[in-house]
Amino acid sequence: MKYVWMDGKLIPEKEAVIPILTHALHYGTSVFEGIRAYWSSDSNNLYIFRARDHYIRFRNSAKIMGIRINYSIDELIKATVELLKANEVHENVYIRPITFVSASTVNLDIRNLETSTAIIAIPFGHYLEPKGVRAKVVSWLRVHNSMFPMKAKVGGIYVNSVIALLDAKVSGFDEAILLNRDGYVAEGSGENIFIVKDGVLYTPPTYDSILEGITRDTVITIARDLGGLTVIEKRITREELYTADEVFFTGGTAAEVTPVVNIDGRVIGNGEPGPVTLKVRSYYMDVVHGKVSKYMNWLMPVY
Ligand SMILES: Cc1ncc(COP(=O)(O)O)c(C=O)c1O
């Protein structure tokens, strides 16, 4: 897009470059978010989905990691709206806020090092196939909470996702599922996971080395409206994946709500997106497009 917001200013994207010794490039010392904004042709407006919740997680990631963000949540929300307006966005878009240690140094002590914050808007369609993906439970484990605080969305920790996804892709699958150190299902490379069994939804608990996804929380909240669909947060084993009636991924970046139709060569359900997944997906899409009045407080209009 034409403009990027960087450290308080809108600048042409081509000028938003960083020096080669930038600390974050070498050590992954960044925190980031992935936010979606949806164009609604009904109201002729663009809505940022759960902007405040994303920026709260952003601030918390930075706090956990000891990285300073020089802007308040309100300032970041305002900057995001300004960015979308400046780029005249009239389509679905992905928003990537990032704060990174911008000092040019090889010092690992990040206290007192300079940080920069940027917000970038990226046109974005479906990253995962909405008709259903084939996933592999990879041998790489999710980094455990005792090794790194997995609630923090920190740049460097994504090498764990990258190597897991690489393993799945080179084996001919679309996506990776990572187990945690205890052998229970954690999440996808960039998504949370739900299974459906006998009409009940199950998802791994937040203490099980997962990112506390905002889409995960959205699904847990809206599921109640779907004929009293209940969601139980519990540890999930690999065999429970194989024998589930349905499995789906959730995530603001990649998945939205994406059916998983095959895991490790085992067909899930009848190999097609299941009825509960489709119901959740369709309602989720209504919610993010501003079609469900009770959730309008999650949507921030841009225009
Ligand atoms: C590792 C990981 N888990 C889960 C998610 C889903 O989080 P959210 O629904 O907030 O996008 C993401 C998305 O960025 C992720 O990277």
Inside any domain, residue 299: no
Q: What is the mean pLDDT of residues 76-99?
A: 97
Inform me whether the pLDDT recorded for 33 exceeds 70. yes
pLDDT of 167: 98
When pLDDT is averaged across residues 19-33 and rounded to a whole number, the result is: 98
CATH number at residue 180: 3.20.10.10
Does some domain include residue 36? Answer: yes
In a domain? residue 78: yes
Percentage of the chain modeled with pLDDT above 90: 94
- For 292, the token pair is 């469900």
The predicted structure's pLDDT at residue 145: 93
CB-count exposure of residue 90 (10 Å: 0-12, 13-18, 19+): middle
pLDDT tens across 147-196, in order?
A: 999 999 999 999 999 999 999 999 999 999 999 999 999 999 999 999 99
Which of 2, 9, 131, 153 is labelled catalytic? 153
| Test site for ligand 1: of 58, 210, 215, most ligand atoms within 8 A of the Cβ | 215
Angle, in degrees to the nearest 10, between helices 73-86 and 51-65: 120
- Are 118 and 142 in the same domain? no
Q: Whose CA is nearest to atom 4 of ligand 1?
A: 191
The yes-or-no answer on residue 279 being catalytic is no
pLDDT for position 124: 83
Res 197 pLDDT > 90 = yes
Our answer on whether the CB atom of 138 is closer than 6 Å to any ligand 1 atom is: no
What spacing in Å lies between the alpha carbon of 1 and ligand 1's midpoint?
24
Angstrom distances, CA of residue 195 to CA of 9, 100, 198, 241: 44, 35, 10, 7
Quick one: 57 and 107 in the same domain?
A: yes
Using the predicted structure, report yes or no on whether residue 1 has a pLDDT greater than 70: yes
Q: Mind listing the pLDDT tens digit for each residue in 110-139?
A: 999 999 999 999 998 766 777 899 999 999
Q: Looking at the structure, do residues 166 and 272 belong to the same domain, yes or no?
A: yes
Contact, 261 vs 272, CB < 8 A? yes
Gap between the Cα atoms of 151 and 110, Å rounded:
20
* Higher pLDDT, residue 125 or 53: 53
Q: Would the pTM count as exceeding 0.85?
A: yes
Give me the mean pLDDT over the 46-64 stretch. Answer: 98
Question: Residue 15 belongs to a domain with what CATH number?
Answer: 3.30.470.10
Q: What is the pLDDT of residues 255-298, one digit of tens each?
A: 899 999 999 999 999 999 999 999 999 999 999 999 999 999 99
Distance 215 CA to ligand 1 centre (A): 8
- Calculate what percentage of the chain has a pLDDT beyond 70: 99
Of 31, 29, 117, the C-alpha closest to 80 is 117
Separation CA 186–CA 203 (nearest Å): 9
Alpha helices of 72-213 — where are they, by DSSP H? 73-86, 158-170
pLDDT for 127 equals 67
pLDDT score for 253: 81
Q: Cβ(113) to ligand 1 under 6 A?
A: no
Q: Does 284 lie in the same domain as 138?
A: yes
Instruction: Give the pLDDT score at 283.
Output: 97
Ligand 1 pocket test, candidate residues 48, 95, 165, 192, most atoms within 8 A of CB: 192
Q: Say yes or no: 167 and 115 in one domain.
A: no
Question: Which residues span the domain enclosing 172?
Answer: 133-288
Number of domains into which the chain is organized: 2
Residue nearest to atom 2 of ligand 1 (CA): 190
17 vs 64: CA distance, rounded Å: 26
Q: What is the pLDDT of residue 28?
A: 98
Return all residues near 78 (Cβ < 8 A) that are at least 6 apart: none
* Mean pLDDT across 57-75: 98
Q: Which structure tokens are listed for 122?
A: 């990226």
Q: Which of 72, 90, 123 is the last residue of a domain?
A: 123
Pocket test for ligand 1, best of 253, 280, 284, 287 (most atoms within 8 A of CB): 253
